[in-house]
Structure 1
Amino acid sequence: MLSACGVVAVTVAVIRFGGSNCDRDTVQALESLGIDAELIWHEDSLPGDTDGIVLPGGFSYGDYLRAGAMAAHSPIMDEVRDVAEAGTPVLGICNGAQVGCESSLTPGAFTTNESARFQCEHVHVRVENADTPWTRQFEAGEILELPIAHGEGRFEIEDERLAALEADDRVLFRYCESDGTVTPEANPNGSKHSVAGVTGEAGDHVAVLMPHPERVTLEDIGPTDGQGILEGFEA
C-alpha cells in the first residue's frame, strides 16, 4: 500500500484470540514505529492488504490443554500458515510463540518453566543470527535487554532437531548474562541450550520468541531494545 506521500506503507495484522492481552500494546508499539497495525479477531479473515502478522502475547483460551494449543486451531490460523508459506512475515511473541510452535510455523515447543513458577522480569538475550528481518538492526553477538512474563516459556526440542537448527543458523536469540556469556543462571526458564527465539519452517521471515519486544519500544517510558525486532516488518 502507498501512503499519501508515495512511500510504501506496511500493514500488520495483530491477531486477537480470546485471552490475548498484549494485542493493543503490540499495535501501539508498531504504530510508534510508523507501521500501520490492525487488530483482527481470530474468527475473521486476514485483510487483503496484510503485509505482516503478529501473534501476540497473553493467555489464549486460558492456556487450557496446553499453552497455545487451542489457538492453533482457530479459523484464521489456516490463512496464517498459507501466507507464511508464501512469504508474509509472521512474528509470534510469548503466547504467540506458543501458538506458532503448536501451529508448526516453527519447530519445537514451549512448556512449563523449570521453576514451575510464572517468571516476570527483565532478561538479557544475545543475537545469534543477525541476518534475519528481525535482527538486521543488530550485530551478531549484540546483547539486548528484554522483559519476559510467562509460565510456559521453556523451549524444548529433540536433540537431533536442535542440532539441525543450530547448524542451519536458525536460533535467533539465546538467554545470556549482561556480558553475553551463556550460563544456566541467565536462563530464566530452563530452555534447552538457552534458546529464546527461533526462525520458522518456511524461512527466516517467520520467527517466534518468548521475550516481549513490544514492551521496550516506546521511547518515553524506558528502554527501546525491542524497536529493532519490530522493525523487521519493514525489512
Structure 2
Amino acid sequence: MNFGVVVFPGSNCDRDVAWVTRDILQQPTRMVWHEETDISDLDVIVVPGGFSYGDYLRCGAIARFAPVLQSIKDHAAQGKWVLGICNGFQVLTESGLLPGALVRNRDLHFICDRIPLKIERHDLPWTTAYQKQNVITLPIAHGEGCYYADSQTLADLEAHQQVLFRYSDARGTINAAANPNGSLNNIAGICNRQGNVLGMMPHPERASDAALTYTDGLSLFKGLLGTKV
C-alpha cells in the first residue's frame, strides 16, 4: 500500500508518520510537499500534526488553500484513504472534508498527555485490528482540540455512526471527567459517511514504536493493511 505524508511549512509530525509507515510497516512512503497536485500514485494520504503555516489566522485556515488540498478532496471522492491527525484533523474540518470545527480547549491551555480512548466502531479498516470494546491509550498534544459542531451536525454524526473514538476513562466510561478538552460528546475522532476519511486529535503515530512502550496506535495503520495484531 502506497502512503503519502503531506508536508506543510510548520509541519512537525510528518517524519513521525513516515517512520511508522515506511520503517516499521515497510510500506512505500513518500513525503508530499504542499504545493504538489499529483497524488494519483497513493492509496493513503496522511495530513499530519504540527503547525501548518504557523497556525496563522487559526489552525488549518491557511492550509485549506494549499494546492494539494484539492487533490486530497479528489482522492477522497475516489474512495481512497485520508487520515488527518491533530493539526491534520483541523485542516480536514477547515477544508470541508469533515464536519464541525476544532476550537480552543475548554481550559484555554495547551494539553500534552496520554489519555484513554474508547473505540466506537470496529467495522472500518481504521479499527478492525482492535478488539471489540477496546480502550486504548494514545498521546494528545494540542491547544485547539475541542470538537464543536451545531446540534444538527452532532445528531447526524451520531445517527450515521461517524464517531470512531471518544475520550473515556480507563474502563471505557464516557463522562465529563474523562474529557480533557471539552469536546462535545467526548469526540476524539470522526469519519465521513463513507468511512474513508478519518480525522482525530490523538496521535497514533506517537504510540506505534515498541521503543516508546505504547503501541496502541500501530493497529490503526495495520488495519488499513488488513493485518490483524
Same fold, judged at TM 0.5 (above): yes
State the TM-score, normalizing by the size of structure 2.
0.95
Cα deviation, residue 41, structure 1: 0.4
1:189 to 181, 186, 194: 181
Q: For residues 119 and 66 of structure 1, do their structure 2 counterparts lie closer, same or farther at Cα, with a shift above 3 Å needed?
A: same
Identity over aligned residues, as a percent? 43
Aligned-partner Cα distance in 2 for 1:36–1:193: 37
Report what 2:68 is aligned to: 76
Q: Does 1:173 align with 2:165?
A: yes
Distance 1:194 1:75, change over 3 A: same
- Deviation, structure 1 residue 30: 1.2
Partner of 2:33: 41
Which segments of 5 or more consecutive residues in structure 1 lack a partner in the other structure? 1-9
Task: Check the 8 A contact 1:127/1:139 in 2, yes or no.
Answer: no
Structure 2 counterpart of 1:93, from 85, 88, 97: 85
Equivalent position of 2:196 in the other structure:
205
Report the TM-score, using the length of structure 1 for normalisation: 0.93
CA RMSD across the alignment: 1.1
Question: Partner amino acid for 1:38?
Answer: R
Contact 2:113 2:141 in 1 (8 A): yes
Cα shift at 1:221: 2.3
3-state SS in 1 of match to 2:181: coil
Matched, 1:227 2:215: no
> Are 1:57 and 2:53 counterparts?
no
* Contact 1:213–1:226, Cα closer than 8 Å, also in 2: yes
For the structure 1 residues 63 and 98, does the alpha-carbon distance in structure 2 shift closer, same or farther, using more than 3 Å as the test?
Answer: same
The residue aligned with 2:8 is 17
Farther off after superposition, 153-162 or 138-147: 138-147
The answer as to whether partners of 2:107 and 2:181 remain within 8 angstroms in 1 is yes
Bigger Cα displacement from structure 2, 209-218 vs 48-57:
48-57
> Where does structure 2 lack aligned partners over 5 or more consecutive residues?
none
